[in-house]
């Protein structure tokens, strides 16, 4: 009986300790990053794997890709379609289905010319499935055009 | 109005094998006593963490019988292994157990390496240990929060998330992803650590040690929690071994079994770490063992960072995506956050493995539940379920 | 009390004002609770709707109003619809005898506290009806829990209030406030700290708030007795839950914390400030502790609170007799 009373008083004390901890946190600043107003430190996004992009070989949107199909064969999700162009080794189409991609880096690591890499685009949004079917060559050209402006 | 039979929940069931519910419920209720209520916990119940379904037979609030129903999240990972090259299967492993993907990575990659006899550079082995242990901490923290949430305390999980986010930030530097990590490669790891990784990890270790004191004051010492957990759901060594339970569940029962020590792999033999056994086989014992393992993992990370040798992180001529396994059969086990993760690999020398069997610790640990939950209150059954630290994708694979 | 036209009109006006108070209280408390939860968990809480999320609660209640009433199959129609209404209306009556200020009482009756204690028992009926009629096993378990919990916690609650009633010698709430002074050390809490503590614990139990929120224990019973309610039915349960919280806080303020009296400028604002401080405390409890188990909940009550409150009552009676 006496033991139970002492136990309960100790228990009540542990509750007060708990309240003091949450009370202290109540007055400490919030830890979340309030997205549209604040963004995550870009340093911590440097390694983030976003959707694939082609590495530019020159300033006008040429790519290093030699259409060797290594990435297509490596991909576990079959999300890449590379069609070789009529002349030379450069690809005519480089389609990338982000809905199937699991960001495993099999393509990036198997590319003999290091022509593809992960972008660090965390803020990608899409309203339809089709928006995630990307044409990487067009994307590369758009980026080159934007950079040259 | 509709064709459903009206079941008055108060009424005593006249026909025990009634045609209400699906096949599992019918089968379960065939053996029900009269005067009991059959209750389906899940698959969309808040405390089954995903889509586990448990059918329980209740008398009042006492659970007379419980039976887990699996398969709501079955994704045929073992079959997928047979149609993909070993390299292409690596990302699947992150999806098997989203809380401790690195250990699953290690299990599969390690099995393939053992079969092919690949040598892993020493630096890569250390990086494997560091990433695996950091991930184990994240997993245990997540469990801690979710377990307290099962018991009704909503706040601690958000504190656990603070730490987990920090670990995710650290792991993202080398792995590029935050949840379904695929970091390991045959013959090494995919990326080397940089100065920022080391700095953040070194900052994180003392920070988490401080936070663990707060966890203790806020939750572990809390009288409500202690009385909810102490002497609830005892699972002795005997029942654990009968059902093949491993990991913290077995260690809490008092048997210091740990794959890292018993079947050494990687560079664990070179590291000094304690394996807890006990203090008790109830829910509170399992709780304490996991919190102790967080500290152990912190020590391992600290040691591994100090002893980290220089060198390459990937062997020369590391296998590519179209790499073929040599013919043969092997088994490789690692210690995951939930217990022993085993990969049994059979290859006939073809492009894809002939068979890949995944031993999921959650699956074996879950099988204890039916026996441990007999005769306890419903609230205790939830506590027992939580204390097993189930990850449902891993149960179903 | 004469039932003249004026007093009837007074009661009707008061009822309307109480409904206003209940709705406003629910809206404020939803916002307040979510913000508190947010700050305790180190996140901002509601932020986007309105300046700093202030109209989030209003938008949510609009959403609840606009939602389809989803009725599960095989419910007992009459009781299913009656339950939320029954949860709501008794609370309305309970606010009438509360003295918000010296002259601000809707219906000053001599047996005010009896009225409150009698009608607060009605709330649990709605819980039973809701759990029973909605043809859901979780609801049923929640209802069964609600009954035993509510019965259990009413007793120490009454016992602790009785101790104060012994001191003041009146059942009239205004009278009880008048007995207390303006300064905190003249309040009943200093004379009856044990009774205050018992009342505080049973207050949490009586209003089904965490850590004693067993009837709606989320992780065990999904949502307990109101599992099958959506839209307006759920809103009414929510409204009455917060109104009940406010009511027991008002009673607590009246009995232990000096009612409308304060160190300076007596008035109804003191009642509200003190009541909301107690509400804040209840919210703080909820976001700190895990939930107790059901047998523990009853053990706390029958083995500790009840003997303590009886002991307290005896001591009070003896002291009152001797002095």
Tokens (6 digits) for C58: 């209003």
Give the tens place of pLDDT for each residue, C153-209.
Answer: 888 888 888 888 888 888 888 888 877 877 777 787 878 888 888 888 888 888 888
Give the chain C residue nearest A36 (alpha carbons).
Answer: C48
Mean pLDDT across chain B: 84
Cβ–Cβ < 8 Å for B352, B84: yes
**Please, which chains are in contact with C (at least 3 CB pairs closer than 8 A)?**
A, B
Report the percent of chain C where pLDDT is more than 90: 0
The residue assigned the tokens 């009774």 is C195
**End-to-end Cα separation, chain C, in angstroms:** 34
Mean pLDDT of the region C24-33: 87
Burial B127-159 (b: 16+ CB within 10 A, else e): bbbbbbbbbbbbbbbbbbbbbbbbbbbbbbbbb
Give the chain A residue nearest B180 (alpha carbons).
Answer: A102
Residue A99 per-residue DSSP state: T
Query: Where do the domains of chain B lie?
Result: 77-373
Mean pLDDT of the region C91-117: 78
Closest partner residue to C288 (CB to CB) among A18, A27, A34 is A18
Give the tens place of pLDDT for each residue, C63-77.
Answer: 888 888 777 777 777
Contact B224 C289 (CB under 8 A): yes
Cβ–Cβ < 8 Å for B365, B250: no
How many residues can be counted in chain A? 149
Cβ–Cβ < 8 Å for B342, B107: yes
Task: List for chain C the helix, strand, coil content (%; round to 5).
Answer: 70, 0, 30
Q: How many domains does chain A have?
A: 1
Contact B162 C287 (CB under 8 A): no
Distance CA B199, CA B194 (A): 9
Residue A110: name the closest of B81, B116, B190 by CA: B190
Neighbours of C29 (CB within 10 A): 24
Residue C289: per-residue pLDDT = 87
Distance CA A99, CA B155 (A): 35
Predicted-complex ipTM score: 0.83
How many residues can be counted in chain B? 397
Half-sphere exposure of B229 (CA within 13 A, CB side): 27
Residue A39 located in a structural domain: no
Residue A15 located in a structural domain: no
Give the tens place of pLDDT for each residue, C231-290.
Answer: 788 888 888 888 888 888 888 888 888 878 878 877 778 888 888 889 888 888 888 888
Question: SS3 of B209, please?
Answer: helix
List the pLDDT tens digit at each of the 397 positions of chain B: 344 444 454 444 444 445 567 777 777 877 777 778 888 887 877 777 778 888 888 888 888 888 888 888 888 888 888 888 888 888 888 888 888 889 998 998 999 888 888 888 888 889 889 999 999 999 999 999 889 888 888 888 889 998 898 898 888 888 888 888 888 888 888 888 888 889 989 999 999 999 898 888 888 888 888 888 888 888 888 888 888 888 888 888 888 888 888 888 888 888 888 888 878 888 888 898 988 889 889 999 998 888 888 888 887 777 777 788 888 899 999 988 888 898 998 988 888 888 888 888 888 888 888 888 888 888 888 888 888 888 888 888 8
Residue A57: name the closest of A111, A102, A120, A123 by CA: A111
Residue A10 located in a structural domain: no
Residue A60 located in a structural domain: yes
Give the chain B residue nearest A122 (alpha carbons).
Answer: B177
Distance CA B176, CA C114 (A): 66
Q: What is the CATH number of the domain that holds A104?
A: 3.30.70.3270
Domain B77-373 has CATH 3.30.230.20: no
Give the tens place of pLDDT for each residue, A21-53.
Answer: 888 888 888 888 888 888 888 887 888 888 888
Question: SS3 of C128, please?
Answer: helix
Complete edge-to-edge strand list for the sheet that includes strand A80-84? A80-84, A91-97, A133-135
Contact A19 C288 (CB under 8 A): yes
Residue C2: per-residue pLDDT = 56
Chain C residues closer than 8 Å to B155 by CB = 37, 40-41, 287-288
pLDDT of A19 > 60? The answer is yes
Question: SS3 of C20, please?
Answer: helix
Residue A18 located in a structural domain: no
Give the tens place of pLDDT for each residue, B315-362.
Answer: 777 777 778 888 889 999 998 888 889 899 898 888 888 888 888 888
- Residue B16 CB partners (closer than 8 Å, separation 6+): B29, B30, B31, B32, B33, B34
- Can you give the residue range of the structural domain that contains A77? 48-148
Residue C160: name the closest of C102, C113, C121 by CA: C113
Residue C43 per-residue DSSP state: S
Contact A18 B218 (CB under 8 A): yes
Residue C132: name the closest of C151, C114, C150, C145 by CA: C145
Half-sphere exposure of C315 (CA within 13 A, CB side): 12
Residue A31 located in a structural domain: no
Chain B residues closer than 8 Å to C213 by CB = 152
Q: Could you tell me if A24 lies within 8 Å of chain C, comparing CB atoms?
A: no
Residue A24 located in a structural domain: no
Residue B335: name the closest of B128, B143, B141 by CA: B128
């Amino acid at each position: 009986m006496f033991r139970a009373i002492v136990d309960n008083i100790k228990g009540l004390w542990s509750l007060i300790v708990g309240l003091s901890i949450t009370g202290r946190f109540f007055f400490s600043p919030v830890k979340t990053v309030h997205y549209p107003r604040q963004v995550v430190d870009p340093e911590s996004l440097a390694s983030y794997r976003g959707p694939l992009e082609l590495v530019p070989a020159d300033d006008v949107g040429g790519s290093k890709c030699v259409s060797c199909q290594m990435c297509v064969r490596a991909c576990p999700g079959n999300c890449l379609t590379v069609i070789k162009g009529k002349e030379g080794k450069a690809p005519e189409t480089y389609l990338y289905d982000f809905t199937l991609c699991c960001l495993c880096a099999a393509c990036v690591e198997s590319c003999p010319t290091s022509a593809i890499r992960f972008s660090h685009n965390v803020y990608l949004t899409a309203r339809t499935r089709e928006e995630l079917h990307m044409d990487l060559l067009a994307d590369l050209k758009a980026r080159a055009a934007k950079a040259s402006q | 109005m509709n064709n459903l039979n009206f079941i008055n929940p108060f009424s005593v069931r006249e026909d025990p094998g009634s045609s209400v519910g699906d096949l599992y419920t019918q089968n379960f209720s065939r053996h029900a006593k009269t005067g009991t209520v059959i209750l389906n916990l899940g698959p969309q119940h808040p405390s089954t963490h995903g889509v586990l379904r448990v059918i329980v037979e209740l008398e009042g609030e006492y659970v007379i019988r419980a039976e887990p129903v699996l398969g709501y999240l079955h994704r045929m990972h073992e079959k997928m292994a047979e149609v993909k090259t070993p390299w292409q299967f690596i990302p699947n492993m992150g999806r098997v157990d989203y809380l401790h993907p690195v250990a699953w990575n290690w299990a599969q990659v390690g099995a393939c390496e053992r079969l092919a006899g690949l040598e892993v550079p020493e630096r890569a082995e250390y990086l494997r240990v560091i990433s695996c242990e950091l991930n184990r901490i994240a997993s245990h923290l997540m469990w801690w929060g979710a377990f307290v949430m099962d018991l009704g305390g909503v706040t601690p999980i958000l504190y656990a998330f603070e730490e987990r986010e920090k670990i995710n930030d650290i792991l993202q530097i080398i792995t590029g992803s935050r949840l379904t990590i695929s970091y390991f490669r045959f013959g090494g790891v995919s990326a080397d650590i940089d100065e920022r990784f080391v700095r953040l990890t070194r900052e994180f270790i003392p920070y988490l040690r401080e936070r663990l004191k707060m966890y203790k004051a806020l939750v572990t010492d809390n009288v409500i929690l202690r009385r909810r957990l102490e002497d609830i759901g005892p699972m002795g060594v005997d029942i654990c071994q009968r059902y093949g339970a491993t990991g913290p569940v077995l260690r809490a029962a008092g048997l210091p079994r740990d794959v890292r020590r018993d079947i050494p792999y990687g560079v664990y033999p070179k590291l000094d770490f304690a394996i807890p056994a006990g203090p008790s086989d109830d829910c509170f014992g399992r709780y304490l063992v996991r919190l102790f393992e967080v500290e152990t993992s912190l020590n391992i990370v600290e040691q591994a960072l100090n002893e980290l040798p220089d060198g390459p992180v990937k062997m020369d001529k590391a296998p590519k995506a179209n790499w073929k396994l040599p013919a043969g059969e092997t088994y490789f086990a690692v210690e995951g956050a939930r217990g022993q993760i085993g990969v049994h690999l059979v290859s006939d020398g073809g492009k894809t493995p002939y068979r890949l069997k995944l031993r999921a610790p959650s699956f074996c640990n879950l099988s204890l539940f039916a026996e441990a939950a007999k005769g306890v209150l419903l609230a205790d059954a939830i506590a027992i379920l939580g204390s097993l630290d189930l990850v449902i994708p891993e149960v179903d694979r | 009390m004469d039932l003249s036209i004026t007093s009837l009109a007074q009661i009707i006006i008061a009822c309307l004002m109480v409904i206003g108070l209940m709705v406003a209280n629910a809206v404020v408390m939803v916002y307040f609770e979510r913000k508190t939860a947010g700050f305790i968990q180190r996140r901002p809480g509601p932020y986007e709707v309105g300046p700093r999320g202030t109209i989030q609660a209003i938008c949510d209640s609009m959403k609840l109003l606009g939602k389809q009433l989803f009725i599960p199959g095989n419910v007992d129609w009459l009781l299913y619809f009656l339950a939320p209404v029954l949860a709501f209306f008794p609370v309305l009556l309970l606010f009438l005898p509360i003295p918000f200020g010296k002259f601000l009482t809707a219906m000053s009756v001599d047996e005010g506290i009896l009225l409150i204690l009698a009608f607060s028992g009605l709330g649990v009926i709605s819980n039973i009806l809701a759990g029973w009629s909605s043809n859901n096993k979780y609801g049923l378990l929640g209802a069964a829990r609600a009954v035993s919990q509510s019965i259990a916690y009413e007793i120490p609650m009454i016992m602790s209030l009785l101790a104060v009633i012994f001191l003041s010698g009146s059942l009239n709430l205004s009278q009880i406030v008048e007995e207390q002074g303006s300064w905190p050390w003249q309040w009943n809490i200093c004379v009856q700290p044990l009774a205050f503590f018992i009342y505080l614990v049973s207050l949490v139990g009586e209003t089904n708030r965490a850590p004693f929120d067993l009837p709606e224990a989320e992780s065990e019973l999904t949502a307990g007795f109101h599992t099958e309610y959506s839209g307006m039915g759920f809103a009414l349960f929510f409204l009455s839950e917060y109104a009940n919280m406010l009511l027991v806080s008002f009673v607590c303020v009246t009995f232990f914390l000096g009612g409308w009296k304060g160190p300076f400028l007596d008035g109804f604002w003191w009642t509200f400030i003190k009541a909301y401080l107690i509400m804040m405390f209840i919210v703080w409890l909820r976001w700190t502790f895990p939930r107790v188990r059901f047998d523990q909940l009853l053990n706390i009550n029958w083995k500790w609170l009840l003997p303590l409150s009886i002991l307290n009552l005896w001591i009070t009676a003896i002291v009152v007799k001797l002095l």
